[in-house]
Amino acid sequence: MVAEDIIVLFQSLRRALLATAHLLEDGGSIAIVKELATVSPGQAAKLIGVSRQYIDRLLSKGVLTSSRIPGSSYRQILVKDVLALVSSGQIGNKAIQDIVLDAVNLITNVCNPRTVFLFGSFARGDERNDSDIDLLIIVDDDTDSEIAERAVLRAVSKLATEVDVVVTSQSRLDIDRDSPGTLARRALREGRIVHTRAA
């Protein structure tokens, strides 16, 4: 609201402007984009700070929608859909926790793991929005690890975030846990248990 030389700001606008000023003061940058504007997948990735591959994965899973530019193979995404995705919590730590739980549920439906470890960037706490989820799955010695891994990969392929899995037997884990350079040793050192089979 403007009256001569006096400008009165609504509280929400005041907060937004102050947050913007602090961001700019800290060396950040802002972009002002119309909500109904469209962006390419690459531009959408830059807008929310993820990789282009992550946006492509969200598009292929139907989490984010796009349309084809007429007469072209290029896709366009509504900015409002990209912003809705961010505000819905489907990107960020809460979303990842939900995806880890979903992954564990899918895994326990296709094999009966003894233990599932989360390792990699999410376990270390240095993940980015487009980081994949790394899981080490321990199965019984009488379970064929390769068959179990294929089944698990098929199951978790339904998730919006890429999930990398390694399936190993308990006896193989016992051998590798103290061997330098093995994935098992790394996963056990930096990882955390996200599932243990009930006794």
User: pLDDT of 125-162, one tens digit each?
Assistant: 777 766 788 999 999 999 999 999 999 999 988 777 78
Q: Work out the mean pLDDT of the chain and round it to a whole number.
A: 82
Q: DSSP for the chain?
A: -EETTEE---HHHHHHHHHHHHHHHTT-------TT-EE-HHHHHHHHT--HHHHHHHHHTTSS--EEPTTSS-EEEEHHHHHHHHHTTSSSHHHHHHHHHHHHHHHHHHS--SEEEEESHHHHT---TTPPEEEEEEE-TTS-HHHHHHHHHHHHTTSSS-EEEEEEEHHHHHHHTTSTT-HHHHHHHH-EEEEE---
Which of 15-19, 48-52, 80-84 is predicted least confidently? 48-52
- Kindly tell me if the per-residue pLDDT of 180 is higher than 70: yes
Q: Regarding the domain delimited by 31-90, which CATH topology (the fold level of the hierarchy) does it fall under?
A: Multidrug-efflux Transporter Regulator; Chain: A; Domain 2 (1.10.1660)
Predicted pLDDT of residue 23: 78
User: pLDDT of 90-114, one tens digit each?
Assistant: 665 556 677 788 889 989 999 999 9
* Domain ranges for the chain: 1-29, 31-90, 93-196
Q: What is the CATH number of domain 93-196?
A: 3.30.460.10
What average pLDDT does range 36-47 have in this prediction? 85
